[in-house]
Amino acid sequence: MDDYTLPFWIYLGVLTVFIGGAMKKILASHLSSAPPLVAWLGATVLVERLWALCLPAVLLALLGLACCLYSATRTGTSPATLPAHSKAVLITGCDSGFGNATAKRLDALGFEVFATVLDLSGDGARELQRTCSPRLTLLQVDITQPQQVQQALLDTKAKLGLKGLWGLVNNAGVCVNFGDAELSLMSNYRGCMEVNFFGTLNITKSFLPLLRQAKGRIVTISSPAGDQPFPCLAAYGASKAALNLFINTLRHELEPWGVRVSTILPSSYKTGQSSNHTYWEQQHKHLLQSLPPALLEDYGEDYLTERPWSCSRATPARPTPTSAPLSLPRRHRPGAAVATAAGALRCQRGPGVGLMYFIHSYCPFSISNRFLQKLFVKKKLLPLALRRQSGFDLNLSLHNNNNNNNNNNNEEKLK
C-alpha cells in the first residue's frame, strides 16, 4: 500500500464518489431491469480497484447485494397514508388531466377538496359534481386573474373557519405552442409565464397564510422541460424553469414554518390541451399570420407546417387525460404526495424520465444534447434558407469539379 501515490488515492476517491452517486441515481430511477445491471457493473469496477488494496471483495459484494435488496423492499412498500379527517386541500386546474384525477382521488380518501376550474359548466366540472362527495367544492378561478384568486381565498376561508388549509396542489399550467425559439411569438412567452409562473406564484402567495396556519404542504406539478433544454419548448421550458427555482427557494424558506414543499416532474402525458388538435391548428394559423415576412421567407411555410407535428409526435402517446395521473407509480401521484406522511421533495416519474435525468447529470453535454434531439425532435425539413444554401453549395461544388475536369483535359491536349 505504500507504493501507491497521491494521484492514485485522488483517482480512487473520485471514482468511488462517482460510482456511488451513479448507483444511487440509477436505483432510484425505476428503469425496470436496467438499474440493477448498470449498478452491478459499476460495483464491479469499484471492487476491481479496491481489490488492489487487498480489501475483502466478498464483503463488498455482500454489501452491494444488501443495498439492492433494501432498495427493492422500499420500492414494494406503500407509504403510510395520513388520516384525512378535517384536512382540506385546494387543487388548481381541475377541468381535466392531473387536477381532475387528483381531486377525485383525494375526495375518495376523505379530504375536503376545493377544486378550481376555468368553467363551472364545463365537462370536467360536471363530472366532478357527479362523481365526488358533497365535501368537494368547485371554485371558478383563472389563476392569472388576481380578483378571482382573492375571491377563491375568501370563499375558502369562509368554509374552513379557523382550521387552515392542509394542502395546495399547484397543477394548473399551459403549453401555448411548439416551435423554434425564434419562431415563437412574444405573446407565447408571456402566455406561458403568465399561467405557469405568475399565476402559480399568485395563488401560492395568497394561500400561504392558511398553509402556515395548518403546517400543511405544497405540491407543484412542474416539468423536466424546466431543467433541461427541450427543443421546440423554449417558452414553456423557460416558464417552468422560473417555477422550479421559485418552488425550490420556497422549500427552504417554509421549513421553519413546518410547511412541506414538493415538486413532481412527470413524463409526457396527454392532457386536455395537448390532445386538442383544433387548438394547435388555430395556433399555427395565428403564427403564419403574425410572423415578419422576412422570417417566414427564411424558414419557409412548409417548415412551419411540418414543425409543430414533428415535435408533438415525439411526445409518446400516454394514457388519456382522466387516467394520466393514475399511470404514475401510486406513491408518486399528486394525490399521494398530499395524502402520505412522507415523500420525496422532487419526484422525477414516468417512462424514461429517470434515464433522461441520469444522462443529463452524468454524461457529457454532447451526449445529453444528442439524446434530447433524437428523442424529442423528428427533423425532416431544414429551414428554407439552409436548403437553398445547401443547393447553392452543391451547384458550386459541381461547377468547380467541371472546371477542374476541363482544365485537366486542356492540359492533356497541350501535351
Q: Where are the alpha helices (DSSP H) in 260-383?
A: 277-290, 293-299, 301-313, 334-339, 353-362, 365-376
Q: What is the pLDDT along the chain (415 residues), one digit of tens a residue?
A: 555 566 666 666 666 666 666 565 555 544 444 555 565 566 666 655 555 555 544 555 555 556 555 555 554 445 566 677 789 999 999 998 889 999 999 999 999 999 999 999 999 999 999 999 999 999 999 999 999 999 999 999 999 988 889 999 999 998 877 788 888 889 899 999 999 999 999 999 999 999 999 999 999 999 888 888 888 889 999 999 999 999 999 999 999 999 999 999 887 655 555 556 676 677 777 777 788 888 888 888 888 777 544 454 444 444 443 334 443 444 445 666 565 555 567 776 666 677 777 777 777 888 888 887 777 666 677 888 888 887 655 554 555 555 555 555 555 555 5
CA separation for the pair 165, 112 (Å, rounded): 10
pLDDT of residue 345: 74
Q: Tell me the Ramachandran region of residue 20: left when phi exceeds 0, alpha when psi lies from -120 to 50, beta otherwise.
A: alpha
Residues with Cβ within 8 Å of residue 290, at least 6 apart in sequence = 185
Instruction: For the chain, give every domain's residue range.
Output: 6-76, 88-273+318-376
Q: 167 and 89 in contact (C-beta within 8 Å)?
A: yes
pLDDT of residue 324: 40
pLDDT of residue 93: 92
Looking at the annotation, which residues are catalytic?
A: 236
Return the DSSP state at 245.
Answer: H
Q: Which of 101, 33, 75, 105 is nearest to 349 (CA)?
A: 75
pLDDT of residue 118: 93
pLDDT digits (tens, 9 = 90+) for 316-344: 444 443 334 443 444 445 666 565 555 56
pLDDT of residue 274: 53
Q: How far is CA 202 from CA 57, 103, 147, 199, 335, in A?
A: 56, 21, 11, 5, 22
Cell of 11: 483517482
Q: Which of 261, 283, 285, 270 is nearest to 200 (CA)?
A: 261
Write the burial class of residue 265 (CB in 10 Å: 0-12 exposed, 13-18 middle, 19+ buried): buried
CA separation for the pair 76, 79 (Å, rounded): 10
Please give the backbone phi and psi of residue 373, each rounded to the nearest 5 degrees, phi first: -65, -45
- Topology of 88-273+318-376 in CATH? Rossmann fold (3.40.50)
